[in-house]
């Protein structure tokens, strides 16, 4: 069977592009104990002489989308990420100048901003103000929540937050766990620990006779203690970090008797750059969105009753 000439086609190929979308790359740059983070979502779209792959299936002009993904990670290591613009320009120029059939490269980048969680200070509510270290909170994400229940005589106030993403770029290990015939996870002695905090805390203010807490001050303080516990805990598991975050609140805030956390373990996998002759010295990570570990627990003031629902989405 002969391929029909182009003019004989009743259906002709119009605009087309291809590439790998949403490459989640996290680049850590270590300046002694002070780490810097760049967190991007990079989408590559290439176009050019791509008629044949569509008409006949010949891949002769096709740089695999998998290669475009690898290029994103390799460039993150080799050239670093100074800015999203600089990184995108570098990638686009590379694809167009190194591959004859590729005429246009469109690189779209979303950048997620992070701010530092401060070192220990007298006032934990100002966590974030102080520079330094390896602990970060993602900007502009958090939602504050509260639930008030009143039956005419007693009050229950449960407050909290959700969507607060935090990350430690060191001081996290995970090893010594159970291994069965399905276990493939490698023990980690220096990993990224990241989670999106969903937390609720229950106040022991229950009747109008008691002095009412200062809700604004309480929120700021609880948030500060929680973030500082996250930043300061040398973590052997997310479970241990969770307990520390809850315990710090119970120990420091007399108005709170119960804290519950739901913490997804937002996995960051080191990218294997060996095939490109590059050493990945804990610098370039693939930020996976699913599946994720989900670590949940309640921390109670000793002797108190657990009243916050197990499933925080019901609150
Ligand atoms: O902090 C962790 N806790 C786990 O229970 C767990 N399980 C796993 O695969 N990775 C991790 N990390």
Task: Provide the residue-wise pLDDT of the chain in tens; the chain has 315 residues.
Answer: 555 555 689 999 999 999 999 999 999 999 999 999 999 999 999 999 999 999 999 999 999 999 999 999 999 999 999 999 999 999 999 999 999 999 999 999 999 999 999 765 556 666 544 445 999 999 987 999 999 999 999 999 999 999 999 999 999 999 999 999 999 999 999 999 999 999 999 999 999 999 999 999 999 999 999 999 999 999 999 999 999 999 999 999 999 999 999 999 999 999 999 999 999 999 999 999 999 999 999 999 999 999 999 999 877
pLDDT at 129: 42
Residues lining ligand 1, judged by CB closer than 6 Å? 174, 185, 237-239, 265, 293
In angstroms, what is the span from residue 168 Cα to ligand 1's centroid?
A: 15
**Atom number of ligand 1 nearest to Cα 240:** 1
pLDDT at position 314 is: 76
The SS3 assignment for 6 reads helix
* CA 204/CA 72 separation, integer angstroms: 51
What pLDDT does 225 receive? 98
Which member of 36, 65, 90, 298 is catalytic? 65
**What's the confidence (pLDDT) of residue 234?**
97
ipTM over 0.95: yes
- The enclosing H or E element of 12 equals none
Mutate to test the pocket of ligand 1, among 166, 168, 173, 174 (most ligand atoms within 8 A of CB): 174
The CA 6 to ligand 1 mean position distance, Å, reads 56
CA angle 265, 234, 160 (to 5 degrees): 50
Distance 238 CA to ligand 1 centre (A): 7
Ligand 1 closest atom vs CA 185: 9
26 near 38, Cβ under 8 Å?
yes
CA distance 269 to 224: 28
Q: What local confidence, expressed as pLDDT, does residue 1 receive?
A: 52
- Per-residue confidence (pLDDT) for residue 192, from 0 to 100: 98
Active site residue 20: yes
Residue 223: φ, ψ to 5° = -60, -45
Which of 221, 303, 295, 217 shows the shortest CA–CA distance to 260? 295
pLDDT at 140: 85
Residue 65 among the catalytic residues: yes
* b/e map 56-84, b = 16+ CB within 10 Å: eeeeeebbeeebbbbbbbbbbbeeebeeb
Report d(CA 301, CA 173) in Å as an integer: 28
How far, in Å, CA of 163 to CA of 314, rounded?
16
Question: In this structure, what are the phi and psi dihedrals at residue 125, rounded to the nearest 5 degrees?
Answer: -70, -15
Q: Is 53 exposed, middle or buried (0-12, 13-18, 19+ CB in 10 A)?
A: middle
Please state the pTM of the whole predicted model: 0.90
What is the pLDDT at residue 131?
A: 47
Q: Which ligand 1 atom sits closest to the C-alpha of 241?
A: 1
Place of tokens 């921390």: 299
Q: Regarding beta strands 114-116 and 102-112, do their DSSP bridges make them parallel or antiparallel, or are they unpaired?
A: unpaired
- Which of 187, 238, 241, 294 most suits a substitution to test ligand 1, by most atoms within 8 Å of the C-beta? 238
- Tell me the C-alpha distance between 166 and 114, whole Å: 9
Residue written as token pair 């690189």:
107
Which residue is it, tokens 């590729």?
Answer: 102
Q: What is the C-alpha separation between 97 and 101, in angstroms, rounded? A: 10
**Closest protein CA for atom 8 of ligand 1:** 293
- Distance from residue 221's CA to the centre of ligand 1 (Å): 29
b/e burial code for range 111-133 (CB count within 10 A of at least 16 → b): ebebebbbeeeeebbebbeeeeb
Q: Which entry of 20, 77, 225, 268 is annotated as an active-site residue?
A: 20
In which region does residue 68 sit, left (phi positive, over 0), alpha (psi from -120 to 50) or beta (all else)? alpha
Residues 6+ apart with CB under 8 A from 297: 239, 242, 243, 246, 260, 261
Q: How far is the CA of 267 from the centre of ligand 1 (A)?
A: 9
């Amino acid at each position: 069977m002969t391929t029909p000439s182009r003019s004989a086609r009743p259906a002709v190929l119009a605009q087309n592009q291809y590439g790998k979308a949403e490459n989640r790359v996290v680049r850590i740059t270590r300046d002694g104990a002070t780490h810097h983070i760049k967190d991007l979502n990079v989408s590559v779209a290439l176009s050019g002489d791509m008629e044949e792959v569509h008409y006949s299936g010949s891949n002769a002009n096709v740089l695999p989308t998998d290669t475009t993904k690898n290029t994103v990670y390799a460039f993150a290591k080799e050239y670093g990420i100074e800015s999203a613009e600089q990184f995108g320009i570098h990638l686009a120029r590379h694809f167009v100048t190194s591959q004859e059939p590729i005429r246009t490269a469109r690189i779209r980048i979303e950048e997620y901003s992070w701010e530092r969680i401060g070192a220990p200070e007298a006032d934990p509510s100002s966590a974030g103000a102080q520079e330094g270290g390896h602990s970060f909170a993602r900007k502009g994400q958090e939602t504050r929540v509260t639930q008030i229940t009143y039956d005419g005589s007693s009050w229950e106030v449960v407050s909290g937050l959700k969507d607060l993403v935090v990350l430690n770029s060191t001081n996290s290990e995970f090893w010594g766990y159970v291994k069965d015939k399905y276990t493939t996870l490698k023990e980690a002695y220096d990993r990224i620990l990241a989670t999106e905090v969903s937390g609720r805390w229950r106040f022991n203010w229950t009747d109008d006779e008691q002095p009412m807490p200062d809700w604004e001050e309480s929120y700021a303080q609880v948030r500060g203690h929680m973030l500082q516990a996250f930043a300061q805990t040398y973590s052997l598991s997310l479970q241990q970090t969770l307990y520390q975050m809850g315990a710090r609140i119970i120990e420091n805030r007399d108005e709170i008797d119960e804290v519950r956390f739901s913490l997804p373990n937002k996995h960051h996998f080191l990218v294997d750059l060996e095939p490109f002759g590059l050493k990945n010295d804990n610098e370039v990570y693939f930020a996976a969105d699913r599946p994720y570990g989900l670590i949940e627990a309640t921390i109670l003031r000793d002797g108190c009753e657990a009243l916050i629902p197990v499933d925080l989405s019901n609150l």
